[in-house]
Amino acid sequence: MTERKCVGCGAIKNREELIKLTRENNSREVVINQSNKIFGRSAYLCYNKSCIESAFKKNKISKILKAPVPEDLKGKLINEF
């Protein structure tokens, strides 16, 4: 199993247990990568509201992905997961 670290809380979990956000190589757009078919720089989050909020609060996701993160992505993540 491949382990990854949550951007929000720092917990190390199996990749399957985390939400994957990816900055696409071609368009430089940040997307939720559920299929693992999109290639590019990625960040991972736990499936809970507090991790999602803490990752957005200090702009951690955009620092890791080295790209601006759209504001509607936070709402989308909280609603979906």
CA dihedral for 22, 24, 30, 33, sign (positive or negative): negative
> Counting Cβ atoms within 10 Å, is residue 50 exposed (0-12), middle (13-18) or buried (19+)?
exposed
Tens digits of per-residue pLDDT, 3-61? Answer: 999 999 999 999 999 999 999 998 989 999 988 889 999 999 999 999 999 999 889 99
Is 71 a residue whose pLDDT tops 90?
no
The CATH number fitting domain 3-80, selected from 3.30.1230.10, 3.10.520.10, 3.40.640.10, 3.50.50.60? 3.30.1230.10
Question: What is the domain partition of the chain in residue ranges?
Answer: 3-80
pTM for the structure as a whole = 0.90
